[in-house]
Amino acid sequence: MKKKCWIEQFKDRITRKEKIEESCILSAEEDAFFKLTESPNTSRTLDFAVTGYFLSLADCSNPEDPVRRQFMPTAMELNSLPYELGDPLSEAKYTITPRLIHRYSNRVVLLVTDLCAVYCRYCFRRHFTGKRKGIIGREELNAALSYIAENKEVEEILLSGGDPLVIADSKIGEILNSIKKKVPHIVIRIGTRVPSVLPDRITADLINILKEYKPLWIIAQFNHPHELTCESIQALSRFIDAGIPVLNQSVLLRGINDNAETLAELSKLLVAARVKPYYLFQGDLARGTSHFRVPLAEGFKIVRALAEKVSGIGMPVFAVDLPGGGGKVSLFKVKIEKSERGFFLIDKKGKKYFYPDEQK
Ligand code: SF4
């Protein structure tokens, strides 16, 4: 049988309970999520969608499978803790136009779409992701680019979302072209999960478009060694062979990659695929994601053990986005004070940010 092209694979994503039940027997927690959110009056936290490809990497007989847990919702998402936030990075505070975020002086983030191939159950931007906002409009793109052009200190733009690489080639080309016309000096980064969840999307046509806009970097997201398949490694190679470097950001996820052995295997596979493990993120305080967060002290232990197992190239920076908009910091560089219910992470200016002590 002829393999479906990426557009068909994207359209055929599984988005309904009845459909996923054809492949997986739902656990009580998974079933409860669908039941509790089926009423149109319930505000679902984050849509459900998984590609056939990513589903094929999961063990459908095991609710604890590390790939399955990344895409399959459970009722635990409906537990919101007092310190969890709808917008944990306070992006609203740094929003210039509705899709342009300017937190650090030399770089900006542009949310070009809210769609993703797979909705990751731990997503920190769940207040925006999958909310049917669609692709950025021409007017808004122009407004964002005018702002960037006027602010000469901006040297880099991160295209994010959602996942920019689920947009059609012609539209991606249009967006990149507009960026380069208005701000020719800018370095472009694209944050994407597509290499790990829909590798067929990385076509020769896409690469031909992207390589016109170098310097352009891909920031991929692989969280578990099972995601490094022949298909995903080939997808990564297509970027790298075209002179487009790839870095990887992982999230430290409870029950998925929260041990040094798994992370070391992931790092080694990434390095062998010519991808630099860039960041390993401690979980953000996004609403309904506590079941994914690893206690901070445990995170430090895992990362120290990881450093014993991998080379410098394979070692990511262990980092966190300071809750409430303090920005990204390396957890080995920030000052940490123990408090009664958690920790204070103290930035360079001495400002304190609370991060809870969540025991398993
Ligand atoms: S691909 Fe990125 S934006 Fe989309 S759900 Fe996953 S983490 Fe969130």
235-257 core/surface letters (b: 16 or more CB in 10 A; e: else): bbebbeeeebbbbbbbbbbbebb
Q: What is the pLDDT of residue 247?
A: 98
Q: What is the per-residue pLDDT across 294-312, written as a single tens digit (0 to 9) for each? A: 999 999 999 999 999 999 9
The arithmetic mean of pLDDT across residues 261-267, rounded, is 98
Active site residue 321: yes
214 is a domain residue: yes
Catalytic residue among 13, 44, 69, 107: 107
The rounded distance, in Å, linking the Cα atoms of 163 and 178 is 19
* Boundary-marking domain end, from 48, 78, 108: 78
In this predicted structure, the answer to whether residue 360 has a pLDDT above a threshold of 80 is no
The rounded distance, in Å, linking the Cα atoms of 43 and 290 is 18
Instruction: For residues 240 and 330, state if they share a domain.
Output: yes
Minimal-distance CA residue to ligand 1 atom 3 = 162
Instruction: For residues 203 and 236, state if they share a domain.
Output: yes
CA torsion angle 43 44 46 48 (round to 10): -150
Residues with CB under 6 A from ligand 1: 116, 119-120, 123, 125, 129, 161-163, 193
Q: Count CA atoms closer than 13 A to 354's CA, side-chain side.
A: 10
The arithmetic mean of pLDDT across residues 43-56, rounded, is 91
* Boundary-marking domain end, from 78, 109, 134: 78
Q: What is the pLDDT of residue 104?
A: 95
328 is a domain residue: yes
In this predicted structure, the answer to whether residue 344 has a pLDDT above a threshold of 90 is yes
State in Å: Cα 108 to ligand 1 middle. 18
pTM score: 0.96
In this predicted structure, the answer to whether residue 174 has a pLDDT above a threshold of 70 is yes
Task: Please tell me the total count of domains within the chain.
Answer: 2
125 is a domain residue: yes
Cα–Cα separations (whole angstroms), residue 319 to 74, 184, 345, 359: 26, 31, 12, 19
The arithmetic mean of pLDDT across residues 43-60, rounded, is 92
289 is a domain residue: yes
- For residue 154, what are its two tokens? 């901006």
Q: Which ligand 1 atom is nearest residue 122's CA?
A: 7
Instruction: For residues 114 and 14, state if they share a domain.
Output: no
Q: 29 lies in which domain range?
A: 6-78
Instruction: For residues 337 and 199, state if they share a domain.
Output: yes
Percentage of the chain exceeding pLDDT 90: 94
85 is a domain residue: no
The rounded distance, in Å, linking the Cα atoms of 285 and 355 is 8
The enclosing H or E element of 157 equals: strand 156-160
Q: What is the per-residue pLDDT across 149-162, written as a single tens digit (0 to 9) for each? A: 999 999 999 999 99
* Boundary-marking domain end, from 27, 45, 78: 78
Instruction: For residues 232 and 287, state if they share a domain.
Output: yes
State in Å: Cα 165 to ligand 1 middle. 12
Among 67, 115, 123, name the best residue to mutate to test ligand 1's pocket (greatest count of ligand atoms within 8 A of Cβ). 123
The amino acid present at 302, given as its one-letter code, is I
Instruction: For residues 172 and 28, state if they share a domain.
Output: no
Instruction: For residues 165 and 37, state if they share a domain.
Output: no
In this predicted structure, the answer to whether residue 112 has a pLDDT above a threshold of 90 is yes
Percentage of the chain exceeding pLDDT 70: 98
Q: What is the pLDDT of residue 45?
A: 82
Instruction: For residues 137 and 270, state if they share a domain.
Output: yes
Instruction: For residues 64 and 110, state if they share a domain.
Output: no
- Provide the CATH number for the domain around residue 272: 3.20.20.70
Q: What band does 75 get if pLDDT is binned at 50, 70 and 90?
A: very high
β 95-97/317-322 pair status: unpaired
Instruction: For residues 23 and 105, state if they share a domain.
Output: no
Active site residue 284: yes
State in Å: Cα 1 to ligand 1 middle. 31
Query: Which comes out higher in pLDDT, residue 324 or 270?
Result: 270
